[in-house]
Amino acid sequence: MCITKVGKVLSTSKGRAEVEFFGANDVGDVDVSVVGGVAEGAFVEVFGDLALSVLSRAEAKRRKAVWEEVRKAAMMPPPRRGAKA
């Protein structure tokens, strides 16, 4: 299944972009034609190989922090049901 990824556009060409994804040392080739008007330095949310949202810088910063936090949490065992925080 696809997972949602967020990243920064490194370069664009003919409706596609090289995107550096947050939380992973991963650069992907992404179709940005549906969101339109994406330039180098923009932040996008990607599903599969298609960008579905353009994010503001502030939103991207927030999402980056969320992404890193969730990734960190994913490395830990899940909380037990009913366990106190």
Which residues lie near other proteins (CB under 8 A)? 1-6, 23, 31, 33-35, 45, 47-50, 52-54, 62-63, 66-67, 70-71, 73-74, 78-79, 81
Q: Going by DSSP bridges, is the β-strand pair 26-31/4-13 parallel, antiparallel, or unpaired?
A: unpaired
Q: Write down the least CB distance from residue 52 to other proteins, Å.
A: 4
Q: Which is nearer to other proteins, 20 or 49 (CB)?
A: 49
Least distance from other proteins to the Cβ atom of residue 3, Å: 4
Please tell me whether residue 24 adopts helix, strand or coil conformation.
Answer: coil
Residue 4, helix vs strand vs coil: strand
Q: How many CB atoms lie within 10 A of CB 33?
A: 13
